[in-house]
Amino acid sequence: MPERIIYHIDVNSAFLSWTACDLLQKKLIDYDLRSVPSIIGGNQATRHGVVLAKSGPAKRYGISTGEPVVDAKKKCPDLIIYPPDHDLYVRRSHDLMEFLRGFTPDVEQFSIDEAFCDFTGFELLYGEPVAFAEHLREKIKNELGFTVNIGVSDNKLLAKMASDFKKPDWVHTLFPDEIEEKMWPLPVGDLFFVGHSSKAKLKELGIKTIGDLAKCDPDILTAHFKSHGLTLWKYANGHDLEMPTDEHIANKGYGNSMTIKFDVTDPDTAKYYLLSLTESVASRIRADKAMVSVVAVSITDNDFRRYSHQMTLPSPTDITNRIYDAACRLFDEMWDEIPIRQLGVHTSRATNDGYYQYDLFDGAKIDKLRAVDSAVDEIRNRYGFEYIKRARFIEKDE
């Protein structure tokens, strides 16, 4: 038995599955979206938006995540389209993470629909790890209503690679002694951390499979890709490295990040996700009766290169709009228009002294913003996150 047991849990077509569950639970439709050609995406009537998630039947029409909704509709005229509902996704994601924490305290959320779980040493409690993964997969399906893939290995990299094997609703293993058989024959583009440009450069070097990459001289890769080349070589050989999740923030801080299902190529869409992330971060700050002095934004592009930038605020704050304004400013300063796959909003230098430093000219505005945030928090805590949302999110859904 390996020294460590790591699960990677990945929700199958999360946005569509969560929408399907919600519609069935509320009895708004009498069929399952997952059983018919359907997608989650922008409103086709307005002729904008992209496919965020697709059903299995939609995939058989050649519809792919990230393509324009208009193009998807051409492939399947009877395609059923539902707009995104971010509040629903946040609730379902929270439900999944809390469910997993009922089995192990070591749950690391990787994106809104993915998590790593450390089950090392739980054999006496749960039995053989792969058999328990099957049990957990069935339990999630029966109790939460949606399916997941679970990858099982002794490190996070291999567990994540395993969960991407045959879908949906499967458990797969990828232990070190299985790498040569299960992972090396795969196309090199399937390896975590290999983006579009890296894939093209590797092809120029005659590297077509993960096995080709694993057997390549690391010095050659370093010459062409610098330090990124050595990382690719290590990943191809199953060597785990710290993967990009929410970074540890110096001092006490709050943060959240989101891996997006398609390449974000325009600032408005990026700032839509930044606002969503900021709302979740700011609400946690206020729940702890804290204030923060530093805001940071992280960007991971479609080649998995990660950038971050931070700024110190004029005074500590717990106001959503103030944190969001800083996040947007940081984003504008940092983004070089390379397609984005992951965004993060982080804060640090948190204090709990209970004092708010007012600006000489906008004290009244600050009071109004704090009152609005307080009212929103109270409504959501009492009735649920979905009972109140920003007009911007409604406009995005329409």
**Model's pTM, two decimal places?**
0.67
CA distances from 63 to 16, 155, 316, 341 (A): 14, 33, 47, 20
The verdict on 76 and 127 lying in the same domain is yes
**382 lies in some domain:** no
**326 lies in some domain:** yes
The verdict on 102 and 33 lying in the same domain is yes
Q: What are the CB-based long-range contacts (under 8 Å, 24+) for 70-76?
A: 70/44, 72/39, 72/41, 73/44, 76/37
- Smallest Cα–Cα separation from 90: which of 265, 244, 295, 283? 283
**398 lies in some domain:** no
The verdict on 80 and 42 lying in the same domain is yes
- Degrees, nearest 5: CA angle 94-99-105: 100
**Residue that terminates a domain, selected from 179, 197, 219:** 179
CA distances from 369 to 320, 322, 360, 362, 366 (A): 8, 9, 16, 11, 5
- Smallest Cα–Cα separation from 11: which of 130, 72, 100, 127? 100
**397 lies in some domain:** no
The verdict on 24 and 46 lying in the same domain is yes
Is residue 67 packed enough to be buried (19+ CB in 10 Å), middle (13-18) or exposed (0-12)?
Answer: middle
CATH number at residue 48: 3.30.70.270
Q: Which sequence positions are flagged as catalytic?
A: 114
For the chain, the residue count is: 398
**157 lies in some domain:** yes
Task: Quote the strand ranges of 79-121, DSSP E.
Answer: 80-82, 107-111, 114-118
**375 lies in some domain:** no
Residue 26 backbone zone (phi > 0: left; psi -120 to 50: alpha; other: beta): alpha
- Smallest Cα–Cα separation from 248: which of 185, 205, 298? 298
CATH number at residue 206: 1.10.150.20
**9 lies in some domain:** yes
The verdict on 4 and 152 lying in the same domain is yes
The verdict on 96 and 163 lying in the same domain is yes
Range(s) of the domain holding residue 80: 1-179
The verdict on 208 and 148 lying in the same domain is no
CATH number at residue 292: 3.30.1490.100
The verdict on 135 and 53 lying in the same domain is yes
Is residue 263 packed enough to be buried (19+ CB in 10 Å), middle (13-18) or exposed (0-12)?
Answer: middle
**Residue that terminates a domain, selected from 158, 179, 200:** 179
**354 lies in some domain:** yes
**Residue 40: strand, helix, or coil:** strand
Query: In sequence order, what are the beta bridge partners of 264?
Result: 340
The verdict on 125 and 174 lying in the same domain is yes
Number of domains within the chain: 3
The verdict on 102 and 228 lying in the same domain is no
The verdict on 313 and 259 lying in the same domain is yes
The verdict on 132 and 198 lying in the same domain is no
Per-residue pLDDT of the chain (398 residues; tens, 9 = 90+): 678 999 999 999 999 999 999 999 999 999 999 999 999 986 544 445 788 889 999 999 999 888 888 899 999 999 999 988 878 888 898 899 999 999 998 888 877 888 999 999 998 899 999 999 999 999 999 999 999 999 999 999 999 999 999 999 999 999 999 999 999 999 999 998 787 778 889 999 999 999 999 999 999 999 998 888 898 999 999 998 554 444 443 335 688 888 787 888 888 889 988 988 898 888 888 888 888 888 999 998 877 677 888 888 888 888 898 999 999 999 998 898 888 988 989 888 887 655 555 454 454 566 676 676 677 666 656 555 555 555 555 445 44
Look at strands 38-41 and 80-82 and give their pairing. Answer: parallel
CA distances from 304 to 188, 192, 198, 276 (A): 15, 9, 10, 22
